Structure 1
Amino acid sequence: MAKGQGKVLAINKKANHDFAIEDTIEAGIVLQGTEIKSIRNGKVQLRDAFVLIRNNEAWISNMHISPYEQGNQFNHDPLRSRKLLLHKKQIAALIGQVKQDGYSIVPLKMYLKDGFAKVLIGVGKGKKLYDKREDLKKKEAKREVERAFKAKQQY
């Protein structure tokens, strides 16, 4: 997890359900005009977003940033591709990891750090359906144990 995270604005819960995340990297994001105002209002959604590497640059696609209400003509396309700010070594490492079969780069969360919007991206391997079911069973079993423990403490 990134150090010194600020206010968390969006979390991609679907990413941890669909992927086994192995590595995370904090990345800056290039925004235009009123997009940062909309992000600060929490009008961002990472659910279907993904990261592509094109021409040795990282781009985040399908991330929805709602138009700013007071932005009128200065608003931008909510689903446009946005460039991620990473070092060349980080991009090279991502390329090496993604070349392996079944690995993808997904955004995990977006937060503000020192006034700048940051995206925590993760490299993960896609889970099979039976892996997802197994994770849900473990999660439910953990909840049951915690409930039983709480009930026992009350008496």
Structure 2
Amino acid sequence: MARPRPEAFDKKKIVAENRRARFEYFLEDVFEAGIALQGTEVKSLRFGEGNIAESYAEVKGEQVWLVNSNIPEFSHGNRFNHEPKRPRKLLLHQREIARMHGAVERKGMTLVPLSIYFNSRGKAKVELALAKGKKTHDKRDTIKERDWKRDQQRIMKAHR
């Protein structure tokens, strides 16, 4: 019998976060994926460098790739330094890849990276989400809701 998966991923050190993704998309399913990295890429990430603001993931055949993510070159790297914007392979189970492929092809969803982090065992991971884009009026509703919650907190604090 398979052991149950934890609800939230065990994030120890968040390196890069895509905060705009939660505003731009409705997030459906969230996956945790490993990343195939080169040595200097891991060192750059450990120093807290990396950016996934404009990145996305795509399914090509039987593999998932993280595209347009920027991990800058390692400062003490030599001629074996990595290319900063190269596509990086994501490590997932075949069942998860098939599920993502079906959602992207049939439902028109997008694979959006939410964060890159190191887990408790020191492995670099990516939090991926199957997402559907928001329209302008949905974004306005999100802003109104966020402002109302902020006002609620102010009122409650003043009322105490």
Of 144-153 and 130-139, the range deviating more from structure 2: 144-153
Residue equivalent to 1:39: 45
Q: Look up the equivalent residue of 1:124 and give its one-letter code.
A: A
* Separation (CA, whole Å) in 1 of partners of 2:106 and 2:22: 19
Given the alignment of the two structures, is residue 118 of structure 1 paired with residue 100 of structure 2, yes or no? no
Deviation at 1:39, TM superposition (A): 0.4
Given the alignment of the two structures, is residue 70 of structure 1 paired with residue 76 of structure 2, yes or no? yes
Following TM superposition, where does structure 1 have runs of at least 4 consecutive aligned residues deviating by more than 4 angstroms?
none
* Separation (CA, whole Å) in 2 of partners of 1:126 and 1:82: 24
Given the alignment of the two structures, is residue 145 of structure 1 paired with residue 155 of structure 2, yes or no? no
Match for residue 90 of structure 1 among 91, 96, 101: 96
Unaligned runs of 5+ in 2: 1-6
Residue equivalent to 1:103: 109
Which secondary structure state, in structure 1, belongs to the residue aligned with residue 106 of structure 2?
A: coil
Q: Look up the equivalent residue of 1:120 and give its one-letter code.
A: E
Deviation at 1:101, TM superposition (A): 3.7
Of 87-96 and 2-11, the range deviating more from structure 2: 2-11
Match for residue 55 of structure 1 among 52, 56, 61: 61
TM-score, length-scaled by structure 1:
0.94
* Separation (CA, whole Å) in 1 of partners of 2:8 and 2:69: 20
* Separation (CA, whole Å) in 2 of partners of 1:42 and 1:81: 19
Which secondary structure state, in structure 2, belongs to the residue aligned with residue 65 of structure 1?
A: coil
Which secondary structure state, in structure 1, belongs to the residue aligned with residue 39 of structure 2?
A: coil
Of 65-74 and 78-87, the range deviating more from structure 2: 65-74
Q: Look up the equivalent residue of 1:32 and give its one-letter code.
A: Q
Identical positions, percent: 41
Unaligned runs of 5+ in 1: none
8 A contact 1:33–1:74 mirrored in 2: no
* Separation (CA, whole Å) in 1 of partners of 2:133 and 2:108: 6
Deviation at 1:96, TM superposition (A): 1.2
Which secondary structure state, in structure 1, belongs to the residue aligned with residue 158 of structure 2?
A: helix
8 A contact 2:9–2:32 mirrored in 1: no
